[in-house]
Structure 1
């Protein structure tokens, strides 16, 4: 099979879909890999590194799409890529269709086979290809939140860890999944007081068992959310509904309950956000302020630490990429139920019910 690795063109996206180590394995399995020139530089991988493991380098993104049977990348195709996607071409990447009807319609029109990293699902319900980026984003959420709590950044002027004689900052985490767990771990490590909310009692019991005593758990409901947003300095949204739009747990009118300078980091922005006032931002222009509340909602947070993110991502995607390349998409998905759940769109038909539900469409599922 011919595999293409284009350069990401989303704002400040420095990750790349495949490391040289991943390319080496594909070439060893007798596949041809075309990498767009400088695609890996943002992650610390250079054209010579790809050439040394057997890849071919192409100058333009148009050339990569034109010659490839399968495209392996990080983020969903952006508007200038829509026309490059071919009928029958496999696109393996993060899509997050529920957050963009425009993207969804474009991929339906392309006739491509769209396999989404974020909906590949193991038998235990875990999401193996989403997990590493959720780990990165969860840890980064605290790092970014701590920065924007500083007064020059329009935050409350609170140091999360406090100092002797001064109480530590308070962090509210919505969701006890991978993002929430990693965020709580980082915040607790800084010495902050952490409250984590979820509706899954098994997850809350797990958090209660593994976290230090200054991480407390409570059941998530509107009453508790309204109570805690009035006293917490940093609020982290880590809610995930697999393949579907995130619920709005914090509404616009609830912002008025927060103290001026409170910071919201909505990691759920890729799925529409769990705060009503969330809108996607970029690393170039990451925040905006509504009702004196600082919103940080960068849609590709792990792109800020591309070396760590790219290596972590390739570690988990490579076995699936090899299966798709060795067997073809149909057989690979037929033989692996986890990969089959990653099928979102197949040659103009929707294969993932949550997309239909999100947009209220009546298309027949593939």
Structure 2
């Protein structure tokens, strides 16, 4: 199969869809891989690294899309890429369709086969292609939150872990999945007092068993969330509903209950965000302020640490890329139930229920 790896053109997206190691695994199986010139540069991979792994370097994004039967990338295509995608071309990437009707309609019109990393699902319900980026984003959410709590950036001016004689910050984490666990782990490690909320009691029991003493678990409800707001310094939103829009757990009216300079970090922004006041931001302008509350909602947080993120992503996507390349998308999805759940839009038809429901569209 002919596989294309383009440069990511979303604002400040420094990751790349495949490492040279991944390219090598494909070319040794007699597949052809076209990598756009300098596609891996910001992730620390040079063109000569890709050439050494057997790739063909091409000069333009147009050339990559034109040559490839399958595109492997990181983020959803954006408007300049829509016209480059061909009928029957496989596009394997993070799509997060439920957050964008424009993207959904563009991919329907393209007649391509859209396989979304974030809905590939194991037998146990885990999302193997989302996990490493959720791990990165969960850890980064605390790193960024701690920074934006600083006074020069309009935060409360509080050190997350405090010092002897001065109490640490209070952190509330919404969602006890991969993002939430990683965020709680980081915040606890820095010495903060952490409360992690979820509606799954089995998960809360697991979290309570593995976390240190400065992490408390609590059942997630509007009442309990509101009760914590006046004393919380940093709120991390990490709630995920597979393939669907995130629920709005923090509403605009709740901002008045927070102290000026409170920071809220919405890791669920790709799925529409779990705060009502969330709007996607970029690494260039990552924050905005509403009612004296600092909002951080960068839609591609792991793009700020592209080496770690690219290697972590290729580690989990490569086995599926190899299946698709070896067998073609139809046979690969027939033979692999996990991969089949990644099918979102196929030749102009929505085949994933949550996307159709998000926009009141028909399924195939």
TM range (shorter): over 0.9
For residues 217 and 41 of structure 1, what CA distance do their matches in structure 2 show? 42
1:193 CA drift (Å): 0.2
Q: Does residue 1:208 correspond to 2:208, yes or no?
A: yes
> 1:217 is matched with which residue?
217
Partner of 1:290: 290
Q: Distance in 2 between matches of 1:152 and 1:227?
A: 28
Q: Give me the whole-angstrom Cα distance separating, in 2, the residues matched to 1:354 and 1:229.
A: 31
Tell me how far apart the structure 1 counterparts of residues 247 and 164 of structure 2 sit (CA, whole Å).
Answer: 39
Q: Structure 2: how far apart are the matches of 1:272 and 1:329?
A: 29
Q: Which residue of structure 1 aligns with residue 81 of structure 2?
A: 81
Residue of structure 1 equivalent to 2:196? 196
Residues in 2 aligned to 1:213 and 1:53: alpha-carbon distance in whole angstroms: 48
Matched ranges for 1:224-263 at <5 A:
224-263=224-263
Query: Aligned equivalents of 1:80 and 1:206: distance in 2?
Result: 45
Residue in structure 2 matched with residue 320 of structure 1 by the alignment: 320
Report the equivalent of 1:349. Answer: 349
TM-score computed with the length of structure 2 as normaliser:
1.00
Task: Name structure 1 gaps, 5 residues minimum.
Answer: none
Q: What displacement does 1:356 show?
A: 0.8
Q: CA RMSD in A?
A: 0.4
Count matched residues. Answer: 364
Return the alpha-carbon distance in structure 1 between the equivalents of residues 324 and 357 of structure 2: 28
Quick one: distance in 1 between partners of 2:166 and 2:329? 58
How far 1:153 moved relative to its partner? Answer: 0.6
- Alignment partner, residue 157 of structure 1: 157
For 2:194 and 2:230, locate their aligned partners in 1 and report how far apart those are by CA, in whole Å: 14
Q: Give the drift of 1:360.
A: 1.7
> Following TM superposition, by how much is the alpha carbon of 1:230 offset from its aligned partner in structure 2, in angstroms?
1.4
Tell me, yes or no, if structure 1 residue 63 matches structure 2 residue 63: yes
Structure 2 distance, partners of 1:260, 1:113, is 47
Per-residue CA deviation, residues 298-344 of structure 1 (Å, 9 max, x unaligned), is: 00000000000000000000000000000000000000000000000
Question: Helix, strand or coil: the match of 2:235?
Answer: strand
SS in 2 for 1:230: helix
- Write the deviation string for residues 45-91 of structure 1: whole angstroms up to 9, x where unpaired: 01000001110000000000001000000000000000000000000
Could you list the per-position Cα deviations for residues 247-285 of structure 1 after superposition, in whole angstroms to 9, with x for gaps in the alignment? 000101110000000000000000000000000000000
Q: Give 1:229 shift.
A: 1.5
Quote the offset at 1:359 in angstroms.
Answer: 1.0
Structure 2, unaligned runs of 5 or more: none
SS in 1 for 2:231: coil
Query: SS where residue 230 of structure 2 aligns?
Result: coil
d(CA) in 1 for partners of 2:169, 2:231: 10
Runs of 4+ that moved beyond 3 A = none
The DSSP-based 3-state class of the residue aligned with 1:229 is helix
Matched, 1:330 2:324: no
